[in-house]
Amino acid sequence: MDGANIEIKQHVGDDNIFIFGNTAEQVEEIRRNGYNRVNYYEEDKELHEVLTQIATGTFSPDEPHRYSGLFDSLVNFGDFYQLLADYRSYVNMQESGR
């Protein structure tokens, strides 16, 4: 957990914050070892399906390429903030009902 999340947690309490994803230390380790965002895209069926729908215009049929930049920034051009690495943890937190 990064410093900002620690401060938020202190102010709002455990019952009012949902912590998910990699810790700051894990993020740095992933960077050191080489973050391969394409692996997350290819190995998580649900993530793959959602991102493919975004890329192909499922949510913007009148402008099918409207969100291609979003897809590219996550899958093709680096995903600097490692959002794909946190996806499954986010879904699991949502499903836990916490």
Buried b (16+ CB within 10 A) or exposed e, 21-41: beeeeebeeeeeeebebeebb
According to DSSP H, which parts of the chain are helical?
A: 3-12, 24-33, 37-43, 45-56, 68-71, 83-96
CA 81 to chain centre: 8
Q: What is the pTM of this model?
A: 0.82
- pLDDT for residue 90: 94
Q: What string of pLDDT tens digits covers the 98 residues of the chain?
A: 666 777 888 989 888 888 889 988 999 999 999 999 999 999 999 999 999 999 999 999 999 999 999 999 999 998 999 999 999 999 999 998 76
The number of folded domains in the chain is: 1
User: Cβ(85)–Cβ(91) under 8 Å?
Assistant: no
Q: What is the extent of the structural domain holding 69? A: 3-96
